[in-house]
Structure 1
Amino acid sequence: MDSTHLLTATAGYASLRELALNFSFLEQAFDDCSNKFSEYLKNSDTLTTLSLEGDCDFRDACGKRVLRALRDNESILSIKLEDILFDNEALYLMASVFAKNTRLRIIHIHPAYKCVIDGGGHSDRWLPSLTRNDTIEEMTLPFQIWRPPQWLEFFEVLSLKQILKMITIAWFEISVSDMNEFCMVISQGGAEERVTFNPAFDLSLYDNNFSLIRCKSFGDIQAECEDNAPQLQKLTAEVSAVSHVTSLTLSISPLPTEVDHLSPIASLIKATTTLKKLRLVVTATDKAANYKNVSWTATIESLSRNQSISILPIDLNIMKAEDIEKLADVIRCSDNIGRLCVTVEERMSDLFPKHLSRGIASNYTLVSVQFLDHSDPNAFDVTDTARRNCGLVARASQLRMGARLERYV
């Protein structure tokens, strides 16, 4: 089906509630079809969720027609605009959406990487429009949209607005000095509890300034330490010292000769009482090397004592067989690890699910399990137990709310 037929069919579907499109469909359609689709967006009284993604160019007539339609729409509650290119007119139209649309509750704006919005000009119009808006509850804004004084003004107004509960800041490239200034602005504006940073954080920003993590807006961090052991140690020490980081992704590549490369991770797991999600991506720097000297013992022992981590995506590609078995034992006996996603190298692909499945029926904590890159018969026993537990959790929540339960399971 070509774009013209798809958009025509969409515009004629009166009961549609959610719509996600690649922007190329709009660009490829004939003008009369794009006009009809814009009229549909403007007048729809059933559509509640709209997502436009792809290499979106809001510098052309088609994109601006969409923004004009969103300005007048009275049904859409949630909008996501991904990889958007703005010019000044589109920035002005976006400001008018904030000012005139009184139905929007959620809006996420992620400009394209090549899009330069250098605070000023028509982007200044976003500030008064957003400060007057009394309906938006959650939003994502690009860092570049304003300069620090404008952000401070916005955050000070935000402190008086209870309706806007969460703001995510997205960016691509930013200097350490600019990041330091921005963190101070967030603190001065009293917005730390409601502002969070996009987790795809460039580690180079805090190569020499890990204290940035002390800003409470860093709740979800993704870091690539590779084979840099000192950097890993500094990062984990800072995360251990704060309580607001609840999700951490670490990509590391231990050297075969570094026995204690993973010890900072063990120390972090041992110390933290607030980290909820820990994702470990561990890869080999030399696939032909023997990694038997890389010790996981302290990390696994710390995990067995930890009571906060409930989500554990982990890559086991350089783990010895005995360590894999110990890890399986820890997860099976854990009272807090409820979500598990595991990648195992091919030669060990059967070992982890086989060991985890032993006695798994006595586990009532796991509610979601994924085994990537392989299928083992023992994996079914584990995933089946997770499905059972998930059903029990759902029924328990119904019981707590006083809902009527099914008599038979």
Structure 2
Amino acid sequence: MSLEKSLLSGSCIDYRVPCTRKEGRLCDIFRHLPVWNEFFWQVHLELQELSPGELSLVNTYDKRIGHPRFHMTQQVHEKTATLLCHLLTHHHCVVSVDLTSYILKTNIEVICDALCKSASLRKLELSLWHFTTNLSLSFTAALSQLNQLQVFDCSDVLFDHAFSEGLSKFLASTRSLTTLYMSNYHIKHMDAALIIQGLKRNETITTLAITGSLITDTPECSVMLSEYLSCNQTLRVLSVHWASSHNKLHPIIGALCHNGTIFELNLIHCGLYIEYFKLITGMLRQNQTLRSFHMIDCTIYEHDSDPHCWKPEFRSESSLISLWLMMLAENKALKELTLDLRWIKPDECGSLFKALASNTSLEKVTIDTFNNMDVVHICQALRDTGVPERFFVGKHHLLEDTAAALPECKELSCICVEYWFPLELEPLHTTLCVLPTCDHVKSLSLKMDAVMFKGNVGSLVAKYITNTTALRELRLAIIFETLHGADQTVCDWYAVERPERTLLQALSLNKGIRRLSLKGLCITEAEAQMLVDTLQSSRTICHFSFYPKRECLTSVIPLIRKLSANVSSNYMLLGMRTLYHKQRRGDTFTVADVVRRNNSLVTRAADFVMGTRHRYCGAAAELVQFNPGLVEKVQELASVDETVAASRIESSLKSFTELDDFMCLAGVVKYSVTCPRRDDGQKQLVDLNRDCWLYIRQFLKVGDILDPK
């Protein structure tokens, strides 16, 4: 029997129906995705549209709405494994799969067999922390047969020796893999050596992400890794994460002095010591092929020998500015550069930025991190370059001494404001008073003590939210516990002017916020309805997260219940995060499924704007044409600014305004509409003048035309 009944709705699914995907036509499985996802939801997986007409089975644990804790019986594991195996073996529309311990633990043999039979799998992500020898051998044996696999992500895998050995053999033999994300966890020296050996024999990987775990402290591994990076001819993008121990980056930076193929290097959450800056500038002087170099969220150590002696900025007498100036004078290859400037002295900003501006090859410079006290000097130095449009400043943590200068620092678009103690009430008040004059601030993270929120400050926050049209992202967190101890504030549920209610009223009037995060609030059921009404009526809010105060977790229940009632009419919501707290599973799933649907529509619509003229992509463009997420997606795909992206969307929608264009896209006719003349002389569709057709077109969408069978 191939019919299975779902857990929540009781709907049946015939999982043995084959794939029906054709050029320009979706597989029939797309019409039944909600039912399929009811099964996969139990093991924290979800079928999502990766690109138009292509599906990805994605691990959603802790990525969207909190999951209820299902009792994962043997029957549940077997049922979901059966569905997964059928997808892999019979649906060539499935191109990407995340495999987790929830689904692998009891079904490794059948799933590995299905992986080997898949003819379309291009991306595989593995999340597994407890290997058995049998599991490692089975999985790596299957891995070696995935001849079409292009992306393998094992960043969430705790390697054992058998897995490392199998991975090494796969890397040496694969002829399809182009992207590899290595484990974030500790790798033993012997296993790291095996993996590097596999990388040295690989001839296909162009994008590689590694962590400090692969860069062991043994000379053998350091030499092997350095040799691999020095001599490799295929690698184009290298990302290094969490390399914080001393000497971790030496073999990498040194090797890039001799590499002539890598175009992009990213150092993310790495520990940077004094000599690293000397190595980096030296490497950039010598390497004339690197196009992008980024230092993101790194930590600077002032003393080489003591990794625990960290200071937020490097103020050594032997300044590094001369090294950077020499590099910028000699390097003519870099196009993008992301800098951590906590090492620089305020009076050196001007000379550095002028050198950056004078480098004709540099198109984009991002100041990721800097000393917050130096913000005025940095912004002034950027303006003095004459080309401030080439510079982008990262998040600035506003300080008591810099709040008043915010209006003049128009280079700042993302700020963080944190005031937790009563003595900080005055600078918080100053900040909230100047914010309305700062239209350059697009993203605001605001954290404050609950006592402050209940006073005049809450009213100022609400007033700012009501009136601002510039703000695109708001993260508001109310803190009930400070270093002074737990705040014993009790929610007054019956107060007429509750600050929570005032805040929600302000949000309902805002016309610009796209990403909204609320944390630490206590809301009543009526206020939950206010929040739902705002989400349903908003033409801008795409991403929303809600984490109430610990004592008010029950407020999630009415929020999700009320939102699920009419959320199917919402074509804006692209992200929803909250915790699971006793709300009905069906309500939670309903909201999550609408989020999935909307993301699919944006994906299709963006493809339509980029030139794909499939009927279902045009139908999606009509449904989500006003979604800010579509603008962001087009910006990403076309590498254009917001204005150009919006213009392209408008033009693409106008392209099927006329009768013939509309009917062609809808699949009604191939070229143009023609109608044989009627004997009674009555007017037909082609007899309508343009004004009449455009009037009808207001009420007619591509999706209204039935799909021919």
Same fold (TM over 0.5): yes
Q: How much does 1:162 deviate?
A: 6.2
Is 2:576 the counterpart of 1:382?
no
Q: How much does 1:267 deviate?
A: 1.4
Q: How much does 1:99 deviate?
A: 1.6
1:218 corresponds to which letter in structure 2? Answer: L
Gaps of 5+ in 2: 1-159, 161-187, 302-309, 617-706
Does the aligned pair in 2 maintain the 1:74–1:101 contact within 8 Å?
yes
What secondary structure is seen at the aligned counterpart in 1 of 2:545? strand
Q: Which residue of 2 aligns with 1:84?
A: 271
Is 2:457 the counterpart of 1:231?
no
Equivalent residue runs for 1:262-273 within 5 Å: 262-273=458-469
Does the aligned pair in 2 maintain the 1:283–1:318 contact within 8 Å?
no
Equivalent residue runs for 1:292-371 within 5 Å: 292=492, 293=495, 294-344=498-548, 345-371=552-578
**Within 2, Cα distance between the matches of 1:184 and 1:219?**
15
Q: How much does 1:195 deviate?
A: 3.3
Q: Which one has the largest radius of gyration?
A: 2
What TM-score comes out, normalization by structure 1 length? 0.86
**Within 2, Cα distance between the matches of 1:272 and 1:371?**
26
Cα-to-partner distance string for 1:164-195 (whole Å, 9 max, x where unaligned)? 31322413x55x4x443333222222354343
Distance 1:271 1:163, change over 3 A: same
Q: Which residue of 2 aligns with 1:250?
A: 446
Q: Which residue of 1 aligns with 2:364?
A: 165
Equivalent residue runs for 1:39-54 within 5 Å: 39-54=227-242
Paired residues, what number?
Answer: 400
What secondary structure is seen at the aligned counterpart in 2 of 1:47? coil
Is 2:320 the counterpart of 1:133?
no
**Within 2, Cα distance between the matches of 1:391 and 1:20?**
28
Is 2:26 the counterpart of 1:26?
no
Cα-to-partner distance string for 1:341-364 (whole Å, 9 max, x where unaligned)? 221342222121112222111111
Distance 1:405 1:235, change over 3 A: same
1:198 corresponds to which letter in structure 2? Answer: G
From 206, 224, 241, the counterpart of 1:17: 206
Q: How much does 1:274 deviate?
A: 1.3
**Within 2, Cα distance between the matches of 1:403 and 1:262?**
48
Is 2:377 the counterpart of 1:181?
yes
Does the aligned pair in 2 maintain the 1:57–1:85 contact within 8 Å?
no
Identity of aligned residues (%): 23
2:349 corresponds to which letter in structure 1? Answer: W
Distance 1:24 1:402, change over 3 A: closer
Q: How much does 1:101 deviate?
A: 2.0
Q: How much does 1:148 deviate?
A: 4.2
Distance 1:241 1:327, change over 3 A: same
Does the aligned pair in 2 maintain the 1:270–1:302 contact within 8 Å?
yes
**Within 2, Cα distance between the matches of 1:318 and 1:231?**
26
From 308, 315, 336, the counterpart of 1:118: 315
Tell me how large the CA RMSD over aligned residues is: 2.9
What secondary structure is seen at the aligned counterpart in 2 of 1:348? helix
Cα-to-partner distance string for 1:105-156 (whole Å, 9 max, x where unaligned)? 3322224352663364555212221244333333332324443454322322
Does the aligned pair in 2 maintain the 1:142–1:169 contact within 8 Å?
yes
**Within 1, Cα distance between the matches of 2:452 and 2:524?**
13
What secondary structure is seen at the aligned counterpart in 1 of 2:614? coil
Distance 1:403 1:7, change over 3 A: farther
From 408, 412, 416, the counterpart of 1:214: 408
217-226 or 4-13: bigger deviation = 4-13
**Within 2, Cα distance between the matches of 1:27 and 1:205?**
43
Q: How much does 1:291 deviate?
A: 2.3
Q: How much does 1:37 deviate?
A: 0.8
1:181 corresponds to which letter in structure 2? Answer: H
Distance 1:200 1:186, change over 3 A: closer
**Within 1, Cα distance between the matches of 2:440 and 2:597?**
32
From 242, 252, 274, the counterpart of 1:66: 252
**Within 2, Cα distance between the matches of 1:184 and 1:256?**
33
Q: Which residue of 1 aligns with 2:655?
A: none
